[in-house]
Structure formats: structure tokens, C-alpha cells
Structure 1
Amino acid sequence: MPERPPVLTKRTLDKDLDKLMHVEDAAKYVSRKLVAPGIGLVFLGLAMLFSGVYVFDRPGAGLVIAAAALAAYMAMNIGANDVTNNVGAAVGARAMTMAQALVIAAIFEILGATISGGEVVRTISSSIIDASQVPAGTLSWIMMAALMAAALWINLATWMNAPVSTTHAIVGAVIGAGFGAVGSGPINWHVMLEITIAWITSPLLGGVIAAGLLYLVKTLIIYRQDKIAAARRWVPVLIALMIGGFASYMMLQLASAGRFSSPVILLFGLMMGVLGWFIAKPFVRRQSRDLENRNSSLRVLFQLPLIGSAALLSFAHGANDVSNAVGPLSAIVRVAIGHPLGDAGGPPLWVMLIGAFGISVGLLLFGPRLIRLVGEQITKLNPMRAYCVALSTALTVIVASWLGMPVSTTHIAVGSVFGVGFFREWYTRNSKRRIEYMRRKAEVWMIEEPDDPNTYEVRRRYLVRRSHVMSILAAWVVTVPISATLAAVIYWIMFALFV
């Protein structure tokens, strides 16, 4: 009987090697989760070094550098929580991938913050609390406590997948820290009343504008016999509206320096809108060739306008929400260099850059967590509906930024999504044009149509998830008191430790 060949493998060694490989795989898996926080910490260090270059020879340099780190941390949290406002609709409608959306948002956030963010920054830094009634040193610690409290609350909300308002967080934190430091006297309650009114009206306005745009799209394009011909006529008009509104807003930024009057601004916006119409018309005609006369074909024609509106919304968000991060920092810097808070000068450019890049770093590292909630889970979005949401939100935020009002882009974006959803419910039940269109379609395809379009089955089908209404409203309601209370506590701790 032949001898069996010797076994050359060592089972014990193989088992040990397998264990080592499993440990290495586990270590790689865990380390991947630490990459984003590590990059965030590197950015905080860079922000401190960047601010130190400008203030190292000032008396309060240490406080300013620490405030710069907190502002960078706040900006990253804003990017992580608010990115869904900019691109959630476009991603939910599958007009762009997640990676494309994040890159576009990051670029236009930086542009919006650096070009047009100064007006709202002045509101946060000097209008909520009357600086003349607060000692300069106390004001700096108030802003430090506000930054830390707002950033911590937004970080917690992002971890819980709650799209809270970063604007509510910072405004509530400034009030809470100020109240904890000097009482209610220095708080400008009339400014707070204006901000509160803007908070209430802006989501309603966003919802109304979004519903109005969707009504025009449904009436002029979707429920027409020849959808493609109607789209060739009206999609360039919608693109022209977007371009004209954005051009007018950019002129308004220059008008703040007294360079242009209102008629000139309106005329320039009209001219740019007409130019956009001339450019978009042949492009849409070329895109619409060989498309079938069906709703799915319209999605192709709305894809590029939706990407443009998402970029415009990112610009508007950067212009408005950068103030939530660098408004308190701007106040601290002005105290440190001895400039009065109420003067007409804007915040330093390096302050704006910390906020702009912080928002972009935050949305690139942590932003995708909340995109699906607004983009997919409240109501079903296609490119036409998503375009109405994005354009409505952008126009509302742009007007608010021009007026210097720190409105909540979260409120406006979610309000626009709800406006589209509730309008669809109403339109499905009450539109005579839609009912006639469905009857003609039923005759063509020999489909048995219901006797009454307002049957129980139609009434039963809601197009907006009501559960999200209550959960989002609850997150909005608790943000101000939580951030205010936390800011007051943090101020007392800071005062006991450092003052």
C-alpha cells in the first residue's frame, strides 16, 4: 500500500493567518468611519492657522483663533445638515448622482458665501443684540457660547437625521447667551419680531411659489395633447425665469453700494432672461428630437434646468446661511480690532472664507445623510416637480438675503416640497383639465375609467406623508429653546472658567 504524501500545510498557522486577516478587515472598516472626522479636525486646525495669520498681533488673538475654530465647526455642521435643501430635490428626482450634487453644491456654496453673504452676516453679528449696551469683552463671550451651543445642537440633530433649521439654532443661541449674560435689555426685540415673521412667512411663500410653478407646468405642458411641442415652447421660458432672477439678484448686491437703481436692476434682469431664452430655445429643441409624446420624455428636458436651479439654490444658501457660522465670529473680530459693530463695513474676507469652505467641507464629508428625507420620503418627486421646488426655494432665499433677513433655507425647502405635494393632492381631485385628459387617454387605450374622479379610492390616496409634517415641525419648534438654553449654560460655564 503506497504511503500517503506528507501534509505540507500547517492548520494552526492557517487559522492564525485567517484571524489576522479578519482583524485587518475589521480595522479597515472602522478606520473608514474615522476618515471624515479626521479630515474635519484637519480643517479646524487649518482655520485656526488661517485666522492666526490675520490677528496674531492683536490683543484678543487667542479668543479670535478659538472663535475661528468654533465657526469652522459650526459651518461644517451647517453643510452636513442643510445640504439636503440644495440638492435633495434633484437627487430625489434622479436628475443627478450624489457625487455630482455634492460637487456642484460645494462650488456654489463657496461662491454665494463670499460674493453675497455680507448683508445677512451683519444682521446676525450686530442686530440681534444691541452692542452699545453690552461690554465688548462680554459680547465676545456671548458669541463664543452661541457658536458652541448652536454647533452642538446641529451636530446632534444631524446624527438623529433631523433636518433642523441652522438659522433658528444660531439666532436662539445668541438670544440665550445674551439673556444669560446681561438679561433681556440689550436684545433687539423688534428685530427678533421681524426675523420671526420671516421664519413663518418664508416657508409659506416657498410653498405657494412652488405650487404656482407646478400649476403652470401641469397646465401648459403635462396635460396637453402634444407634450413635446408644449415643452419646446415653455421650458425655455422657465429657464429664462431662473436666469433673469439670478441676474437681478447679482445686480442687487452691487446696488447695495449705490451703483444701480431699481429700474436698472429690473431691466438688466429682463435682458438676461431674454438672452437665456434665446440660448435655451435651440438647446431644448435639439434635446426634444425623437422623443415620444409621454411624460417620461419630459424628464429629459427638465434635467438640465433642474441642475441649474440646484446650483442657484446652493449659491443662495451660501449667501444666506454663511451668516449662521461667521456672524458671531465677525462680531468677535470687530471687538478684537476695535471696530464698531454698527458701521457699514462688511465682515473681513478671511472670515467669510472660513464659513464658505467650512460649509463645503461639511456637506462633502457628512451631507448625504439627510438628502433622502427631503428628496424622497416626504412626497414623490420627478424632475418637473423638483425643478419647481428648487427654483421656488432659490428665489425665496435670494429675496430674503437681499433684505438681510436670516431666513431658514430648511423651512423654505421643506415648505416648497410640502407645497408641491399638497397641490398635487388638490389638483388630482379637482382639475377639470386633468380629468378630461385622463378620459381621453382612457378612450385611446380602451381603459375602463371610473364614473367619478373623486371616488373614495382617489380621496384615500394622500401624496404627502403626514407623519413627516409633525416630526419636522416638532424639530423646528424645539430648536430655538434648546439652543437658547444650551447657550446660556455654556456662557455661565465659560464665564466661571475664563472670565
Structure 2
Amino acid sequence: MLYSDIQIITVSIRKLHHTKMEMLVTTIATIASSVTEGTVTEFRSQVLWALVVGVILAFILGFAMGANDVANAFGTSVGSGVIDLKWAYILATIFETLGALLVGYNVTDTMRRGVVDVKLFDHQPKVLFLGQLAILGGCSAWLLIATFAHLPVSTTHSITGATVGFGLVAMGGKGIHWMKIVSIIASWFVSPVLSGLVSSILYIIVDFSVLRRSNPFLSGLIALPIFYWFCIAFNVFAVSYQGSKLLHLSSVPLWLSITTSCVIATICAIAIHFIVVPYLKKSVEKQVNGHKERDIKCGIKREKSTAVTSISKVQELDEVISTSGIIQDIAVLSSSSDSGRNGTSLTHQTTFDVNDHDYQTASPQRDSTDIRIEQRGATVVDVSHHSLSRKEDSAVSLNMKSAIKALKRFTRWFLPARNRTPDDKTLKVFSSIQVFTACFAGFAHGANDVSNAIAPLTALLAIYMHMDVEQKGETPIYVLLYGVFAICVGLIVLGKKVILTVGTKMSKINAASGFTIEFGAALTALLASKAGLPVSTTHSLVGSVVFVGIVKSRQGVDWRIFRNIALSWMVTLPVSGLISAGIMFILKFFV
């Protein structure tokens, strides 16, 4: 009896203790929750003004980005005359939005985390919050300056420089990932060179397969479905592999992405071959025939004046020939050729190279020392060592000259002809695909750069709502749409300035070269973003314009403009950093 009573008392004490512990834990949690809510509420009241300013600055940054970066993406299409400014604005709006939502949705805050260690601000969320204002202000200010100066610069690098400037003032350089900065500086050279090489190779392929053919229009129609296949396959792959969490594409395996891309591209290429190509052929031929009829009507009126001009030119040429003694030379050559037919062969024959306007001998050149020795014949009994060495040197020199000439001939054959002008029919074939690659370039830009531009605004919202410096939540869709809207407004208002620089001033671009420039730059930018390499879309596009201009005509680049652009790239990081550091200094000590 006593034992059972003791057990009952013990159980009662344990229950009472457990109940008190639960009450204590609940009380502590309630107090902590109320303290946290009170802290968050107090924090929000302190920084509400900064959030409003941040939203405005984010719009200005998007505006400046649209005026500069997006203008790069569509500059070559406008410069080649494939689309006008109105269609550039429409297509940019659509495909920038799609790129940001379908691919860029995952990578919104990678730039901020990659440059500065945000964990250092766990106990100083307000400092990080104000730092986003400094980043937005520094980046948008530099982009607007560059846009008014007609200079295409990188938004990604501007964001990076502004982040470094804020970090130096806030933490004295502590927590800045300097190797990331080094890799970005290296990308100043890697981005344009890599993209330029890709676009140059593509242009040479287009030149061999289409432009230098005897019937380039027909060759272009045959190659068109193949070009579309590559563009569509890569576009689908970029969307499906490591794609948007919004569409549940982030976990799609690599093999499935490749298979899906190839199947969709093949179906589209077949449709283009049987539907688009016949329509395009009929449309272009009809348009060209209409132009020919109009030219014939206009040409009849010019025939009389042209004939008179031609007769006068022939008379002038006759006088020049007679006075310069060319007729006598022709007579000598004629008699020499007659003697050649009778058994006496000509010792030297000259052929002309039309491409270089210089002449090369058809028969092998002979060293002067050899000629002198042969002329002397049997009288030459002894040859000095000095003469032999001179003969050997001459032979080596002759071999070097032959090798250099062979290399020049190969280069002339391999590279596109300098003065070749593609006919209008062929360019219209490439016009159809350049519209597609322009959309592809806009899509790549939306995927690669829009996310970085809105990263500071995303950080502002995360810190304001939950005091979360690491931003563990997803980027709200409305933030992406807000950024895209600001970008499109900037393109429409100020985009023409940079479009003219990239599309017309730096190099002469037609539909064929524009296709390879846009596709090569977009290919490089998207592959680099998938691989995590810090490649700038702006640098890629400018590099492609320069490289293709060199390959196409060897002198087709305005180096003065390119020099200014390259200098603007180099000062982007420090200038945006200085502006951001100045803003952060003011906020830190006066707010």
C-alpha cells in the first residue's frame, strides 16, 4: 500500500514538472517571438524610406540597363537593316521577359553572394540594407554616363564594382572574394576573344557553304534548315537544362535535355525545309524580278548617254595606248609567240593575280648566281667557298619566299574575299534567320544579365521582410517583371544611342555577318552562364563584331571607336565602385 502511494506521488511530481517545463518553453518562445516581431517591426519602420528609394533606384538601374545592355543585343540586327527600331523594341520586350523568367529565375542573387560574404552581416542587417542602395546608385549612375557617351558597357561588371565599393567602406575589405574580382578582370579579355573566335568560325563556315558558291542563293536555301536546327536546339537546351524552378525544369537530367532539344529542332527544321524555304524562294525571286523590270525601264533612258560616254572612253584609251608604246610591246610579244610556235619557247611567262594586283611567275625563279654560272659554261673550273655559301643562302631565301607565298595563297583562299558583295537574294535568306538570332540574343541577355540587375532589389526585400541577409527564399516573380519593365522602357527611350554604335559605327554589318555575330555571342554567353564563368554579354557581342569585321574585310573595324569601348570596359569596375563607395560613406555616417 505504501509502495503504491509512493509511485502515485512520484508520477504526479513528474507530470507536474513536465507541465511546468512545457509552460516555461512556451512562455520563452512567446517572449522570443514577440521580441522578434517587435524587432522586425522596428527595423521596418527605420528603413521604410530606404526601401522606397531602393525601388526607385532599381527602376533607374533597369532603365539604364535597357538603354545600354539590351541595345547591344539588338544593335547588329538594326545595323544590318533586318529589323527597324520599332520591331527591336517589341522583340526585346518579349524575349528579355522570357529569358529572365525561364532561365534567369534561378540565378538572381549569385553576383551579390559571389563578390561579398554576406554572412558577415548577420548581426548588421541594416548595413547590408543600406549597402544595396549604394550598389544601385553606383551602378545606375555609371550606366547612364556610359549610355550618354554612346559606350556599351557591362551591367554585370558595374554591379560587381559597386558591390566591391560598398564592401570596402562597410567592412574595410573584409569578406570580399578577391579571386572573383580577378576572374572578372580576366573576362575582359576572355569574353570578347572567345565570342569573337566562335563568331569568326561560324562566318567562315557560312562563307564556305553559301557565300562563295556559284549560286549562293540556292546554297543559302539548302543550308537554312541546318542553321535553324542549331539555333533551335541550343535554345531549347538552354531552357530545359538547369532551367527555371517556376516551370519545374531545374531537375531535368542532361540526357533528357539533349534528346528533347534534338527532337524539337529536327521537327522545326523539317517544317522550315518544306514550308519556309519554298515560300522564301518564291517571295525573294518575285521581289528581285520586280526590281529588274523597274531597272530595265529606267535603263532604256540611260542607254544613249551611256553609249556616248563609252565611245569617248574608248577614244581616250586608244590615245593612251598609242602614246605609251603598248602597241609596240604587243607586236614584239606577238612575234615572240610566233617564234615559239616555230620551235623557240618563251623563257618567262607572267600571270596576274586579280585579288592582290601583283604578279607571280608561272615558271620557277632562278637565282642570279646560278644564271651567271650557267652563262660561263665550261670556263668555270673552280668555285670559291664564299660563292657556294652565297648560293646556299640564296637557296634558303628562295625557299622562305616560296613558303611565305604559299601561306599567303592559302590565307587568301581560306579567308573570305575582301571586296565580295553578297547579292540581295542571298542576304534576304539570312535576314529571315537573323530575326531569329536577334530574339535568341535577347533571350540570352534576359537569362544572363537581368537577374544580376535586380539582385540588389531582391536583397532589399528579403532583408526588409525577414531581416534575412542570406536571402534563402525565391525571388518573387513580380520583382523580375518589374526589372524587365524598367529595362524595356530604357531601351525605347535611350537605346538608339548604343544601337548605332554597335550596329553601324564600329563595323559594317550585313545579314550574313549579323547572323554569325548574334548567334556566336549568344552561344558563348549562355554556355558560359551554364558553366558559371563570368562572361559578359556586352563584351561577347562587341568581340564578335570586331572579329567578324576583321575576317570579313581585314579592314572593316573602326579602331578609334573600339579603343574607346575597351577603355570604358576597363574603367567600369573602378568608377562604379568609387560612386558606390561615396554613397555608402554618406549613408554610413549620416543615417
**What is the TM-score when the length of structure 2 is the normalising length?**
0.66
Mapped to 2, the partners of 1:276 and 1:497 lie a distance apart of: 60
- Is 1:470 paired with 2:563? yes
Q: Could you tell me whether the CA contact under 8 Å between 1:334 and 1:340 is conserved in 2?
A: yes
User: What corresponds to 2:54 in structure 1?
Assistant: 67
User: What corresponds to 1:310 in structure 2?
Assistant: 438
Matched residue count = 409
- Is 1:78 paired with 2:65? yes
Secondary structure at 1:162's aligned position in 2?
Answer: coil
- When residues 471 and 214 of structure 1 are mapped into structure 2, their CA distance, relative to the original with a 3 A threshold, is same
Partner AA of 2:589 in structure 1: A
**Alignment partner for residue 74 of structure 2, among 84, 87, 92?**
87
User: How much has 1:410 moved relative to structure 2?
Assistant: 1.3
Which has the higher mean CA deviation after the structures are superposed, 301-310 or 183-192?
Answer: 183-192
Mapped to 1, the partners of 2:429 and 2:144 lie a distance apart of: 38
**Can you give the 5+ residue segments of structure 1 that lack an aligned partner in the other structure?**
1-54, 427-461
- When residues 70 and 403 of structure 1 are mapped into structure 2, their CA distance, relative to the original with a 3 A threshold, is farther
User: What corresponds to 1:150 in structure 2?
Assistant: 139
**Alignment partner for residue 390 of structure 1, among 509, 513, 518?**
518
Partner AA of 1:362 in structure 2: G
Q: Could you tell me whether the CA contact under 8 Å between 2:210 and 2:219 is conserved in 1?
A: yes
- When residues 57 and 111 of structure 1 are mapped into structure 2, their CA distance, relative to the original with a 3 A threshold, is farther
- When residues 343 and 381 of structure 1 are mapped into structure 2, their CA distance, relative to the original with a 3 A threshold, is same
- When residues 315 and 156 of structure 1 are mapped into structure 2, their CA distance, relative to the original with a 3 A threshold, is same
- When residues 255 and 69 of structure 1 are mapped into structure 2, their CA distance, relative to the original with a 3 A threshold, is closer
**Alignment partner for residue 190 of structure 2, among 201, 217, 227?**
201
User: What corresponds to 2:269 in structure 1?
Assistant: 277
Partner AA of 1:478 in structure 2: V
User: What corresponds to 2:538 in structure 1?
Assistant: 410
User: What corresponds to 2:313 in structure 1?
Assistant: none
Mapped to 1, the partners of 2:550 and 2:237 lie a distance apart of: 30
- When residues 307 and 341 of structure 1 are mapped into structure 2, their CA distance, relative to the original with a 3 A threshold, is farther
Q: Could you tell me whether the CA contact under 8 Å between 2:233 and 2:261 is conserved in 1?
A: yes
**Alignment partner for residue 326 of structure 1, among 447, 451, 454?**
454
User: How much has 1:387 moved relative to structure 2?
Assistant: 0.6
- Is 1:133 paired with 2:128? no
- Is 1:248 paired with 2:240? no
Mapped to 1, the partners of 2:233 and 2:86 lie a distance apart of: 28
Higher relative CO (Cα under 8 Å, sequence separation at least 6) belongs to 2
- Is 1:358 paired with 2:350? no
Partner AA of 2:176 in structure 1: I
User: How much has 1:223 moved relative to structure 2?
Assistant: 0.4
User: What corresponds to 1:26 in structure 2?
Assistant: none
User: How much has 1:255 moved relative to structure 2?
Assistant: 7.6
Q: Could you tell me whether the CA contact under 8 Å between 1:119 and 1:404 is conserved in 2?
A: no
Mapped to 1, the partners of 2:244 and 2:453 lie a distance apart of: 25
Q: Could you tell me whether the CA contact under 8 Å between 1:320 and 1:406 is conserved in 2?
A: no
User: What corresponds to 1:493 in structure 2?
Assistant: 586
CA distances 1:178-233 after superposition (whole Å, capped 9, x unpaired): 11111111112233334444443222111111101100110000101122221122
Mapped to 1, the partners of 2:132 and 2:430 lie a distance apart of: 44
Secondary structure at 1:121's aligned position in 2?
Answer: coil
**What is the TM-score when the length of structure 1 is the normalising length?**
0.77
Partner AA of 1:153 in structure 2: W
**Can you give the 5+ residue segments of structure 2 that lack an aligned partner in the other structure?**
1-40, 290-421
- When residues 117 and 124 of structure 1 are mapped into structure 2, their CA distance, relative to the original with a 3 A threshold, is same
User: How much has 1:392 moved relative to structure 2?
Assistant: 1.1
- When residues 57 and 279 of structure 1 are mapped into structure 2, their CA distance, relative to the original with a 3 A threshold, is farther
CA distances 1:301-355 after superposition (whole Å, capped 9, x unpaired): 1112111111111111112221342111112222222264546643222221221
Q: Could you tell me whether the CA contact under 8 Å between 1:379 and 1:417 is conserved in 2?
A: yes
**Alignment partner for residue 281 of structure 2, among 284, 288, 297?**
288
Mapped to 2, the partners of 1:288 and 1:91 lie a distance apart of: 23
Mapped to 2, the partners of 1:94 and 1:255 lie a distance apart of: 34
Compare CA radii of gyration and give the structure with the larger one: 2
- Is 1:399 paired with 2:496? no
Q: Percent identity?
A: 29
Partner AA of 1:248 in structure 2: F
- When residues 402 and 119 of structure 1 are mapped into structure 2, their CA distance, relative to the original with a 3 A threshold, is farther
User: What corresponds to 2:323 in structure 1?
Assistant: none
Q: Could you tell me whether the CA contact under 8 Å between 1:114 and 1:356 is conserved in 2?
A: no
- When residues 466 and 420 of structure 1 are mapped into structure 2, their CA distance, relative to the original with a 3 A threshold, is same
The alignment's C-alpha RMSD in Å is: 2.3
**Alignment partner for residue 170 of structure 1, among 154, 159, 176?**
159
Q: Could you tell me whether the CA contact under 8 Å between 2:125 and 2:467 is conserved in 1?
A: no
- When residues 71 and 56 of structure 1 are mapped into structure 2, their CA distance, relative to the original with a 3 A threshold, is farther
- When residues 79 and 315 of structure 1 are mapped into structure 2, their CA distance, relative to the original with a 3 A threshold, is same
